Amino acid sequence: MMTASITGRSRVWYIDRGAPDDRSVAEGSDISLEPYYLSIHTPVGEKPIPYRRILVITYYGTIIFENRKVEGLGNLIAGNAYDICGCGR
């Protein structure tokens, strides 16, 4: 089975039980797309994240996806994604 990866200028915020505010973010270069989940590459191994737990996706600092569960809160969740992605430099 072939997997796809996401560009390094993307970030994905997702529900991560046990993390601060039950939320984490991953850089696009650390993510592989699988049929039923994202595979996050971490220092301790792979972490599967079901697609339903994705909250916000940004590309070059612009929100391109916002889950209906958090509709209207994407900017609050992602903060100033344009600055943190290094796109303005």
> Is there a domain that residue 89 lies in?
no
**pTM for the full predicted model:** 0.76
> Is there a domain that residue 86 lies in?
no
Neighbours of 38 (CB within 10 A): 20
Per the structure, how many domains does the chain have? 1
pLDDT at position 23? 87
Q: Containing domain of residue 37, as a range?
A: 4-81
What confidence tier does 1 reach under pLDDT thresholds 50, 70, 90? very low
CATH code for position 13: 2.30.30
Q: How does pLDDT run across 5-60, given as a tens digit for each residue?
A: 566 688 999 988 888 888 888 988 899 999 999 999 988 899 999 999 999 998 88
pLDDT at position 63? 85
The answer to whether residue 3 scores a pLDDT higher than 80 is no
